[in-house]
């Protein structure tokens, strides 16, 4: 039998944190803040948050549509 030695790791993960992990962490924090806001201020807090995020979602949808 031949002896096989691997010089490179089998995973493709880099040494630092990936962008995907930071995106999930950001999404988790935003959902936690939204839940806390709704728990503290009720429907008014939920609606104010949704109203404030309308321009953000509009820009996000435009950016996805354009493809950048």
What is the DSSP track for 4-68? ----S-S----SS--HHHHHHHHHHHHHHHHHHHHHHHTHHHHHHHHHHTHHHHHHHHHHHHHT-
**What is the domain partition of the chain in residue ranges?**
42-68
Global confidence as pTM? 0.54
Residues 20-36: tens digit of each pLDDT: 999 899 999 989 988 99
The list of the chain residues with pLDDT below 70 reads: 1-16
> Hey, what's the torsion of the CAs at 22, 27, 28, 30, to 10 degrees?
120
Rounded to whole angstroms, the Cα distance separating 22 from 25 reads 5
């Amino acid at each position: 039998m031949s002896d096989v030695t691997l010089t490179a790791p089998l995973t493709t993960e880099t040494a630092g944190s990936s962008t995907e992990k930071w995106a999930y962490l950001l999404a988790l924090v935003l959902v936690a803040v939204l839940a806390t806001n709704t728990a503290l201020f009720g429907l008014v807090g939920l609606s104010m948050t949704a109203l404030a995020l309308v321009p953000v979602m509009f820009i996000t949808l435009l950016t996805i549509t354009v493809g950048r």
